[in-house]
């Protein structure tokens, strides 16, 4: 997964102004006025951001550090959200009775009653020890904080944006306050502070869980779909290949909306010669890409053949979670033994899906259906889980101490920090001294240990090695 560059962020902001038809604007209702306090060390662009949000040059702006001393208040707006914006003096690590110390106490007073702090850093300069010091100070105030990586009008800022993750206060919002770039992303971050509508006004059908059923022909996919929705919605029969289109059905299970997609049977590519079957296979693969959870239906009498492995590999490569439905178990004498054999085969052939759940079912009789849906919901929770940066780095320190990375040309590789940058699937960025020299075997070790420690069994993980300069080393 490639992280968006500051250039792509700039283009996105130019195409879509905050509050227009973007994703965040569709889900956010007009809100009460929010109070935002802009904080950060001197000369990172706080007053420039203040002027950008209030829509006029209300604060003096210059390259001279420490120009702002008293906090300034203004009324602003971003998209459809009204703002009360407070610009504060630059934070400096000084004694309490000094001018800088009194300015810091003034800033602390401005934070009382605020909805959030906008912690601004200079993305070109990168994270400094002073930034880290005041992030720790902000954490003690327990006020919600949005991390702003300013001065992102060029590619020079990209390392600084990545470096900002290790501050541990969430994903940095890359902007250029001077040029007005990245405001769409800032709007999205601010919109998350808007109180959610009352539960009775939430349209649950707007975001159903996307569940796709896939497998070889005649494995019982349509029979399972009919059993789940409680009606003969889909045509079934002994003839293989009855289903051609990917058929979507909306239904509820224990009060939760689900969009279930039944797909055509997928045969080995070499055996697909008919044009209609090729189109049906492409439609099934498209359903996998759009799904959140994929149920792979196996015929218990011929379980986990090579084509089943191929389908499971496609699901893993798309970053989707996989539940194995071992169908037709009413015809088996040793259900537990067959399920255990499938589990071992899956772990051996697809280690990226280690721990995937195998559920014996009978779509014909309904046996095991409740257990199947329990597994679906459990895996969905893991797939959307976000792990805090603090526990991640404590785990990383223990993992490295237990099994250090190899040396390259006599020098030990340094693993600096780890942070989660994405969910669906869980994606982690590992910042190292020389990421190109990290062997795949060591990344697999970290991935497997990460999956085991944070209970992410059965979920495909992404671990991306990234480089970043050491902010404590003077250039």
Domain boundary among the residues 191, 212, 236 is at 191
For residue 378, list its beta bridge partners.
Answer: none
Say yes or no to pLDDT of 472 above 80.
no
The total number of structural domains in the chain stands at 3
> Are 220 and 309 found together in one domain?
yes
Q: Which of 47, 38, 80 is nearest to 173 (CA)?
A: 38
pLDDT in tens, 48-81: 899 889 876 543 344 444 434 355 788 888 887 8
Q: Are the C-beta atoms of residues 81 and 146 closer than 8 Å to each other?
A: no
Same domain, 47 and 135: yes
Q: Is residue 474 part of a domain?
A: no
Residue 411: other Cβ atoms inside 10 A:
10
Tokens read off for 40: 């950060």
Task: Answer yes or no: is 1 within a domain.
Answer: no
Both tokens of residue 35?
């109070």
Instruction: Indicate whether 199 belongs to any domain.
Output: no
What integer pLDDT is reported at residue 272 of this predicted model? 55
Domain C-terminal end among 336, 359, 383: 383
Contacts for 25 with CB less than 8 Å, ≥ 6 apart: 18, 19, 79, 80, 187
Q: Is 158 helix (H, G, I), strand (E, B) or coil?
A: helix
Query: Do 417 and 352 fall into the same domain?
Result: no
Helix/strand/coil for 223? helix
Residue pair 299/336 in contact by the 8 Å Cβ criterion: no
User: Looking at 139-255, which runs of residues are DSSP E strands?
Assistant: 145-150, 173-174, 209-215, 247-253
Asked if 426 and 341 sit in the same domain, the reply is no
Section 413-423 average pLDDT: 87
User: Left if phi > 0, otherwise alpha if psi is -120 to 50, otherwise beta: which for 179?
Assistant: alpha
For residues 161 and 48, membership in a common domain is answered with yes
118 and 236 part of one domain:
no
Predicted local confidence at residue 217, as pLDDT: 86
CATH number of 184's domain: 3.40.50.300
Rounded to whole angstroms, the Cα distance separating 299 from 128 reads: 58
Residue in the structure block whose two tokens are 């009194």 = 102
Residue 75: strand pairing partners: 84
| Torsion 143-144-146-147 (CA) sign | positive
CATH number (domain holding residue 393): 3.30.300.20
What distances in angstroms separate CA 204 from CA 89, 209, 251, 379, one per listed residue? Answer: 45, 10, 12, 20
Q: Which tokens hold the place of 429? A: 């960025």
- Condensed to tens digits (0 to 9), the pLDDT of residues 369-378 reads 999 999 999 9
| Mean pLDDT of the region 278-288 | 75
Q: Are residues 398 and 378 in the same domain?
A: no
Q: Is 146 a residue whose pLDDT tops 90?
A: yes
The answer to the question of residue 198 being in a domain is no
- pLDDT bin (cut points 50, 70, 90) of residue 13 is very low
**In this structure, are 77 and 127 located in the same domain?**
yes
Say if residue 182 is in the same domain as residue 38.
Answer: yes
Full domain range(s) for residue 402: 389-467
Is residue 216 domain-shared with residue 159, that is, in the same domain?
Answer: no
**Cβ–Cβ under 8 Å, residues 68 and 196:** no
Q: Would 131 be classed as within a structural domain?
A: yes
Q: Find the helix or strand (DSSP H, E) in which 446 lies.
A: helix 440-453
Query: 35 has which bridge partners?
Result: 84
Whether 119 is covered by a domain: the verdict is yes
Q: Torsions phi, psi of 384, nearest 5? A: -100, 10
pTM of model > 0.95: no
Distance CA 178, CA 152 (A): 10
pLDDT band at 141 (very low <50, low <70, confident <90, very high): confident
Is residue 472 a part of any domain in this protein? Answer: no
Decide if pLDDT at 265 tops 60.
Answer: yes
Write the DSSP symbol of residue 367: B
């Amino acid at each position: 997964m490639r992280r968006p560059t500051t250039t792509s962020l700039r283009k996105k902001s130019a195409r879509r102004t905050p509050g227009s038809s973007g994703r965040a604007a569709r889900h956010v209702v007009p809100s009460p006025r929010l109070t935002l306090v802009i904080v950060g060390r001197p000369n990172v662009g706080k007053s420039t951001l203040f002027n950008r949000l209030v829509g006029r040059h209300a604060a003096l702006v210059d390259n001279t550090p420490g120009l702002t001393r008293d906090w300034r208040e203004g009324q602003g707006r971003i998209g459809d959200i009204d703002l009360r914006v407070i610009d504060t003096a630059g934070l400096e690590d000084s004694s309490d009775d000094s001018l800088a110390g009194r300015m810091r106490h003034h800033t602390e007073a401005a934070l009382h009653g605020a909805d959030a702090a906008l912690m601004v850093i200079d993305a070109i300069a990168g994270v400094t020890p002073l930034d880290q010091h005041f992030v720790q100070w902000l954490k003690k105030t327990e006020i919600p904080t949005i991390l702003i990586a300013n001065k992102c009008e060029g590619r020079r800022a990209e390392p600084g944006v990545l470096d900002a993750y290790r501050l541990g206060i969430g994903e940095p919002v890359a902007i250029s306050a001077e040029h007005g770039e990245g405001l769409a992303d800032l709007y999205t971050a601010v919109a998350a502070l808007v109180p959610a509508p009352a539960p009775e006004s939430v349209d649950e059908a707007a975001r159903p869980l996307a569940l796709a059923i896939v497998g070889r022909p005649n494995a019982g996919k349509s029979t399972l779909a009919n059993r789940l929705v409680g009606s003969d919605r889909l045509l079934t029969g002994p003839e293989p290949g009855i289903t051609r289109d990917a058929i979507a059905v909306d239904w509820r299970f224990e009060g939760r909306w689900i969009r279930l997609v039944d797909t055509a049977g997928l045969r080995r590519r070499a055996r697909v010669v008919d044009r209609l079957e090729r189109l049906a296979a492409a439609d099934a693969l498209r359903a996998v890409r759009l799904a959140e959870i994929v149920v792979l239906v196996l015929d218990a009498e011929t379980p986990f053949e090579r084509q089943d492995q191929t389908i499971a590999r496609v699901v893993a490569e798309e970053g989707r979670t996989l539940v194995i439905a071992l169908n037709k178990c009413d015809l088996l004498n040793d259900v537990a033994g067959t399920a255990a054999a499938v589990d071992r085969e899956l772990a051996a052939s697809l280690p990226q899906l280690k721990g995937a759940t195998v559920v014996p079912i009978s779509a014909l009789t309904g046996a095991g259906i409740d257990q199947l849906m329990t597994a679906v919901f459990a895996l969905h929770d893991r797939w959307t889980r976000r792990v805090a940066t603090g526990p991640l780095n404590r785990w990383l320190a223990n993992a490295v101490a237990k099994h250090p990375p190899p040396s390259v040309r006599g020098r030990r590789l340094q693993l600096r920090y780890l942070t989660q940058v994405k969910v669906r699937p869980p994606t982690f960025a590992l910042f190292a001294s020389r990421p190109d020299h990290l062997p795949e075997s060591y990344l697999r070790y970290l991935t497997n240990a990460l999956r085991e420690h944070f209970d992410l069994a059965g979920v495909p993980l992404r671990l991306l090695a990234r480089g970043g300069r050491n902010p404590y080393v003077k250039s």
